[in-house]
Amino acid sequence: MSGREIRTMEEFAEAIGISRPTVSKYFNDPASVRKTTRDRIEAALEEHHYQPNIFAINQNRKATKCIGILVPYLSDPFFAEMVRLMERRCIDAGFWPVILSAHGEQHLENEALATMRSLRPTGALLAPLGRASDLKALERFARNVPTVVFDSNVPVGETFVGSNNFQSIPMIVDYLCRTGEPPCFMEMQPVNPNANKRRDAYIMAMEKLGYDPQVVRVEGSGWEFEQIGLELGGEMLSSGGFPSSTILCSNDRLAIGLIAAAFERGLRVGHGQGCALRVAGHDDHPLSRFTTPPLTTVSQDYMSIVNKSVATLFDLVESGERNQGNRTEILFDGKLILRSSA
Amino acid sequence: MSGREIRTMEEFAEAIGISRPTVSKYFNDPASVRKTTRDRIEAALEEHHYQPNIFAINQNRKATKCIGILVPYLSDPFFAEMVRLMERRCIDAGFWPVILSAHGEQHLENEALATMRSLRPTGALLAPLGRASDLKALERFARNVPTVVFDSNVPVGETFVGSNNFQSIPMIVDYLCRTGEPPCFMEMQPVNPNANKRRDAYIMAMEKLGYDPQVVRVEGSGWEFEQIGLELGGEMLSSGGFPSSTILCSNDRLAIGLIAAAFERGLRVGHGQGCALRVAGHDDHPLSRFTTPPLTTVSQDYMSIVNKSVATLFDLVESGERNQGNRTEILFDGKLILRSSA
DNA sequence: ACAGAAATTTTACCCCCGTAAATTTTCGCT
DNA sequence: AGCGAAAATTTACGGGGGTAAAATTTCTGT
């Protein structure tokens, strides 16, 4: 290693013997400098481990290289997975994704939005809390930053990308009806628009098939869905509160809790003989494959949602257009994932 | 709303009629300005929603308000949960936590380290990949940034905070031996020092109790532990590869997969009569409570690890000391979590 | 070899705010 | 009311690098 530590681009450029702006150009696009210059810079880079100050970089750029990603609850493996995929897409495209979580609380969502706004990101991928969101704060944010909303269709941003609950729910309702007792629908207090849509879709699907919809609502709140499924679902099981032996849960996490509750009570879950209960979910949560029995569910098309969200945002950013007024909604169909729980 | 949009602190200060540095003082510590001034600023804040540019803020500060948090795999609920707790602690202390994930890959860990370094964070909380880490890159990072390492004890940073595998593993081994057939130990390719320590602790504990240690190694790699447990654990089950009907897994995720594999084969897991297999894990993963049967495991003391890591880092940062050379290691004991899988 | 065009590199200015030093205001006390 | 110290505010400067415009170099074609 050479003498003193290189701390600034100025020093770095001086050490090479070229001007700082040329080095700056290199970092923004290595191909924009002559090959001989590029080689000199890269050789020096090997030696000094110099890294531009990210604050200084973004401070005077008309568009930062930063993309904000906000989810309601990062500890939920569903969102963790979405974020993981989005993050890589952004990095590959040369952006710096900044991950933020609302931790299920409105004031933290608002704080996260404020943090994001102060980052002046080129664009943002937002999965709002939904019901608990501060709509005005979201609107204000989306007015300043090109925004694609995913998962939870809150009416802000340029585009929404998500799942088509009115396709996925009827599909699994249909399956459940054709293979056994028509399902009742277990939900908790709806935390976001998806929850409401799924319930409504369930009711429509049942009516269309000529069955009586039965919605079972448990009053848990918060984001510990499995716990709610276990506790309140368990109470329902004990008290005979479920009007059907087939239970379609509003999401997989609730179903995971319910399966655990059934196990506690010695109720065998599954579609085979000797089973007391069929349980199905929605989302194809990363761990649904590993429940016992494995959970029958309907998958959200993670990949498509992520790809489309990111691609839409990049288009938005590149074109510089803000399709004022005509917000678009892109919905992907789910796939039936048949496993043995229902 | 007033006329034009306020974009900079300069404009904001002008709109109020005070100087910018006073506003700057306010943002750094509201109590540092006179009450009358504070009230004026806060009234204007209500009206304008001005938010200082985070890049400019940190650009000229001797110590940024930023704390870097790096984990090997953010989609792992264990890390997601740790990060969640750390994040809140940092926010409460007035810091801006930046979450980064290595996504299980060395080059991404290195990129994340580079990103973090360019953020010039006040301090960093690092859970290295472990075996896949680039030790030199970690060292270089820790030389520049006060660093607390957690979970995976790679020899860098000022302090390590983690679990005491040599307490936790013997505890569960002891329990398993006293209540049934002595366990074999199922591991995969060790991804980090914990994995090795757990195996060694298992061997020591078994020998101390006068039993023959039996380590079963499956050759899966990557971070999809449940899948490995399901597939390779399943193969072992089918081929009679487990030398004991009690299986202690290196971690809960592996155990979750193994339980699913047992279910597939009609093997009942648990300690009751009629059960073919006992399965135990390690970590008390957020979802271990909800497996069927619920997983017997030993908990890592999440809260203590998080609190101690963050507190240690803050001490380090405030004191400005770098305890060169005398790296400390703080280990927390696990607790036996008795559920019905073993 | 040379004029002119194209590609690179430099020059010069600016971004938005932190911070130390200088100035002003406030406030307690005689 | 007046004085001096303490608190608050303002002045002045700088941080690390982006970027448009100017200057230079390199490349064409003849």
Q: What is the pLDDT of residues A207-216, one digit of tens each?
A: 999 999 999 9
Residue B65: C-alpha distances to residues A30, B74, B124 (Å):
31, 23, 11
Nucleotides of C under 7 A from a protein CB: 7-12, 14-20, 26
> What is the interface size between A and B, counted as CB pairs within 8 Å?
129
Task: Please name the member of A64, A118, A260 whose beta carbon is closest to the beta carbon of B290.
Answer: A260
Q: pLDDT tens digits for A241-270?
A: 899 999 999 999 999 999 999 999 999 999
Radius of gyration of chain A (CA): 25
- CA A284 to each of CA A290, A292, A339, B80: distance values in angstroms, whole numbers, following the listed order: 11, 14, 11, 19
pLDDT attached to residue A281: 97
Q: Which listed CATH number (2.40.100.10, 3.40.30.10, 3.40.50.2300, 3.30.70.1560) goes with B66-162+303-332?
A: 3.40.50.2300
A131 touches strand D (CB under 7 A): no
* Residues of A whose CB is below 8 A from B120: 53, 55
Residues near B320 by Cβ (< 8 Å), separated by ≥ 6? none
Name the strands in the sheet holding B159-163, side by side, starting at the edge strand that comes first in the sequence. B96-101, B66-71, B123-126, B147-150, B159-163, B328-332
Domain ranges of chain A: 9-52, 66-162+303-331, 165-299
CA–CA dist A92, A96 (Å, integer): 9
- Count of Cβ atoms closer than 10 Å to residue A207 Cβ: 11
How does residue A323 score in pLDDT terms, banded at 50, 70 and 90? low
The answer to whether the Cβ–Cβ distance between A74 and B56 falls below 8 Å is no
Percent of chain B whose predicted confidence (pLDDT) is above 90: 68
The answer to whether the beta carbons of residues B121 and B98 sit under 8 Å apart is yes
Confidence of residue B214 (pLDDT cuts 50, 70, 90): very high
CATH among 2.160.10.10, 3.90.230.10, 3.30.470.20, 3.40.50.2300 for A165-299 = 3.40.50.2300
pLDDT (average), residues B212-225? 91
Is B154 in contact with B114 (CB distance < 8 Å)? no
Of the pLDDT bands very low, low, confident and very high (cuts 50, 70, 90), residue B322 is low
Provide the pLDDT for residue B321: 67
Task: With CB atoms and an 8 Å threshold, state whether B96 touches A115.
Answer: yes
Per the DSSP assignment, residues forming a β-bridge with A280 are A248, A296
Quick one: pLDDT band at residue A319, thresholds 50, 70, 90?
A: confident
Q: Which CATH superfamily is domain A66-162+303-331 in?
A: Response regulator (3.40.50.2300)
B66-162+303-332 and B165-299: identical CATH topology: yes
State the Cα angle at B283 between B282 and B287, rounded to 5°.
Answer: 110
At B230-267, the pLDDT tens digits run 999 999 999 988 999 999 999 999 999 999 999 999 99
Q: How far is B204 from chain A (nearest CA, A)?
A: 32
CB-strand contact B120/D, under 7 Å: no
**Inter-chain contact B55–A51, Cβ cutoff 8 Å?**
no
The structure tokens listed for A186 are: 């277990």
Query: Is B54's CB within 8 Å of A119's CB?
Result: yes
> Which of B55, B57, B226 has its CB closest to that of A290?
B226
Chain A 26-55 residues in 7 Å CB range of strand D: 27-28, 52-53
> Beta A96-101 vs A66-71: how paired, if at all?
parallel
- 3-state SS assignment for residue A87: helix
**pLDDT single digits (tens) A132-188:** 999 999 999 998 899 999 999 999 998 999 999 999 999 999 999 999 999 999 999
* Distance separating alpha carbons of residues B110 and B194, to the nearest angstrom: 21
Q: How far is the CA of A108 from the C1' of C10 (A)?
A: 47
Give per-residue pLDDT as tens, B161-203: 999 999 999 999 999 999 999 999 999 998 899 999 999 999 9
Q: Is residue A99 within 8 Å of residue A82, measured between CB atoms?
A: no
A20 touches strand D (CB under 7 A): yes
Of the partner residues A99, A287, A294, the one whose CB lies closest to the CB of residue B99 = A99
Token pair for B173: 């081994």
- Is pLDDT at A130 greater than 50 in this prediction? yes
Distance (Å) from the alpha carbon of B292 to chain A's nearest alpha carbon = 6
